[in-house]
Amino acid sequence: MNSADLGRRVGVPSTALFTDQYELTMLQAALKAGTADRHSVFEAFTRRLPEGRRYGVVAGTGRLLDAVENFHFDDEMLTFLRERNVVDGPTLAWLADFRFGGDIWGYPEGEVYFPGSPILRVEGSFAECVLLETVILSILNHDSAIAAAASRMSVAAGGRGLIEMGARRTHELSAVASARAAYIGGFDTTSDLAAGFRYNIPTVGTSAHAFTLLHDSERDAFRAQVDSLGRGTTLLVDTYDVAEAVRTAVEVAGTDLGAVRIDSGDLLLVAHRVRQQLDELGATGTKIVVTSDLDEYAIASLAAAPVNAYGVGTQLVTGSGQPTCSMVYKLVARAVSADPAEPLQPVAKKSLGAKSSVGGRKWAARRLDEQGVAEAEVIGTGPVPDGLADRQLLAELVRGGEVVARESLDAARERHIAARQGLPLSAMQLSKGEPVIPTEYV
């Protein structure tokens, strides 16, 4: 795999302080107690899907691997921790030499998941695993939420084009991560150049209303854009009067005009009128792009409209009402020493309400029915049943601290399409419902 497959490897600063203070204070106490080196297994999972969602989508794995590689404490960070009295001298000395040296297994990026799925399993000493909790959860919770929203929008779009354009609606770095997750979930392009630069995602963009308002007339604006970008450009036609703008656009660019964009009004009605007008003017190949606060429901409502592509911003980068997946990171097994050969003892939080967890180092497999459609997410801690041995979901990501599973975004995108197609048909419904397949523990 060459670098073009992965996009540009932009330098990532140390991620060591992308953490909560209690992870360092737990480390200090464990070092003093002599338990920090105990062989431990942590798992990231969610107890439930966001309300009404039928499946989740794993995204952020590639970013997570970068974060683990870059999790180290430089002199400036150590000075900060010392001056704030966050941890003591022996702990600072331990942190100065820290590099994660354990193993990580996880659901491959783009795979779907369900309540209880061991989406990520981190194994090593307690000390090195506990430090990664916050950065792992911040990446997986954000990116998986965006990918799930993108997947639902992709289903609603029914094969029509999807443009991610939410950069101005979120934090500048979240925007780049969102574009990446959206691409995995089914979006085709992004307007964010940083995402294109870093992750090799196709980028698009032409003009905003400001460009039309800059010029003395709409015709002058269209002429300037066509002269610069060619007849295949997309002209924004709702600054003033849509019908007049469409007529002017075809007069300026000719019937080879690439597309028109509609950003306001009753999109269903306006799209039908614009399509009819374009066809009457001979621009039968000119496409229609619609934008304006779309979500999966709005996209679905436009299924009967003559629309070729949708541009989505705010609702996408905020997870369409579900900005997190509520994943947690829990210790599920540990030994009484640092020896990897020492037997692991299952451990689990016992709590009132819905916050208890299941102990033990887990495997996961997806059982299929006779038609090859998923019928259950099966999770266990013992031997894997023969019938599920070739259906296991966790893949090796990091071995002995070394990343072993980097892949292109296109691979994750294709995996998601295949995983979604392998679910029962009801997974494609946008109405609220329970997880499309049950989780079974064996």
Mean pLDDT check: name the lowest of 35-44, 90-99, 201-210, 343-352: 343-352
pLDDT (0 to 100) of residue 1: 36
Alpha carbon distance 181, 413 (integer Å): 9
3-131+326-441 falls under which CATH superfamily?
nicotinate phosphoribosyltransferase (3.20.140.10)
Structure tokens at 391: 């259906």
- Angle between helix axes 172-185 and 409-421 (nearest 10 degrees) is 50
Residue pair 291/263 in contact by the 8 Å Cβ criterion = yes
Phi, psi of 429 (to 5 degrees): -70, 140
Mean pLDDT of the chain: 95
CA angle 43, 48, 53 (to 5 degrees): 125
Largest alpha-carbon pair distance within the chain?
Answer: 81
Tell me which DSSP letter residue 384 carries: P
pLDDT at 349: 84
Return the percent helix, strand and coil in the chain, to nearest 5.
Answer: 40, 20, 40
Global confidence as pTM:
0.94
Burial 339-366 (b: 16+ CB within 10 A, else e): eeeeebeeeeeeeeeeeebbbbbbbbbb
Lowest mean pLDDT among 64-68, 276-280, 370-374, 386-390: 386-390
The mean pLDDT value for 148-155 works out to 98
The 3-state DSSP class for residue 176 equals helix
Q: What percent of the chain has pLDDT over 90?
A: 93
pLDDT number for residue 12: 60
pLDDT band at 11 (very low <50, low <70, confident <90, very high): low
- Model confidence at 355, pLDDT cuts 50, 70, 90, reads confident
- List, as one string, the DSSP characters of 84-130: TT-S-HHHHHHHHT----SEEEEPPTT-EE-TT---EEEEEEHHHHH
Q: Is the pLDDT of residue 353 over 70?
A: no
**Tokens read off for 324:** 């997190």
Residue ranges of the domains in the chain? 3-131+326-441, 146-321
In a 10 Å sphere around its CB, with 0-12 CB exposed, 13-18 middle and 19+ buried, how is residue 140 labelled? buried
Note the pLDDT of residue 10. Answer: 56
Q: Which two tokens stand for residue 295?
A: 């979500």
Count Cα neighbours of 78 within 13 Å in the Cβ-side half-sphere.
Answer: 15
pLDDT at 9 over 90: no
What are phi and psi for residue 99, nearest 5 degrees?
-145, 135
The per-residue pLDDT for range 243-260, each reduced to its tens digit, is 999 999 999 999 999 999
Q: Which among 108, 82, 81, 101 has a CA at the least distance from the CA of 16? A: 81
DSSP category for residue 9: -
The residue type of 386 is: D
Burial class of residue 373 (count of CB atoms within 10 Å of its CB; 0-12, 13-18, 19+): middle
| Sign, Cα dihedral of 226, 228, 229, 232 | positive
Selection from 379, 407, 441 nearest residue 108 by Cα: 407
Q: In this predicted structure, which of 46-60, 129-143, 201-215, 353-367 has the lowest mean pLDDT?
A: 353-367
- 146-321 CATH: 3.20.20.70
Using pLDDT thresholds of 50, 70 and 90, give the confidence band for residue 341.
Answer: confident
* Residue in the structure block whose two tokens are 């079974």: 440
Position with higher pLDDT, 11 vs 262: 262
284 burial via Cβ count (<10 Å: 0-12, 13-18, 19+): exposed
Paired with 112 in beta bridges are 57
Distances (CA, A) of 404 to 19, 62, 70, 157, 262: 24, 11, 15, 35, 45
Instruction: Name which residue leads in pLDDT, 338 or 230.
Output: 230
pLDDT tens, position by position, 163-197: 999 999 999 999 999 999 999 999 999 999 999 99
